[in-house]
Copies of this chain bind each other. A is one copy, B any other.
Amino acid sequence: MTQSLPPLNALRAFEAAARLNSFSAAADELHVTHGAISKQIRQLEDWLGLRLFERSGGRVKLSETGWRYLVQIQDGFDIINSATAQLREPSAQRRLVINSTPTLAMRWLLPRMGDFQRANPDIELRIATSDRDITRLDAPFDIAIRRGPGDWPGYVSQPFLEEWELPLMSPALLERHPVKKPEDLARHTLLLADTRPTAWPRWLTLAGVPELKPAASLQFDHFYLALQAAIDGLGITLGPLPMMQHELNAGTLVAPLPTPVVPVRGYCWIVPRSQMDDAAVNAFCNWLERCQAPAGQSASLPDSVSTPGRD
Contacts and interface: CB of A to CB of B under 8 A. Distances in A.
Given A114-B233, A225-B105, A8 B9 contact: yes
A69 interface: yes
A28 interface: no
A6 interface: yes
B8 A12 contact: yes
A86 interface: yes
Given A129-B225, A216-B121, A111 B232 contact: yes
Interface string A208-227: 00000000111111101100
A106 interface: yes
Contact of A218 (B12, B69, B125, B228): B125
Interface stretch (A75-83, A161-169, A278-286, A296-304): A75-83
A15 B69 CA distance: 23
Contacts of A81: 1-5
A238 interface: no
A295 interface: no
Nearest to A20: B1
Nearest to A97: B219
Interface string A75-109: 11111111111111000000100000010011000
B73 A80 contact: yes
A11 interface: yes
Interface residues of A, number: 78
Nearest to A128: B221
A229 interface: yes
Residue among A1, A64, A65, A137 with most chain B CB within 10 A: A1
A74 interface: yes
A198 interface: no
Given A75-B79, A83-B73, A219 B138 contact: no
A149 interface: no
A136 interface: yes
A42 interface: no
A80 B124 contact: no
Interface of A: 1-6, 8-9, 11-12, 15-16, 19, 29, 48-50, 64-65, 67-69, 71-88, 95, 102, 105-106, 110-111, 113-114, 117, 121, 124-129, 135-138, 140, 154, 189, 216-222, 224-225, 228-229, 232-234, 274
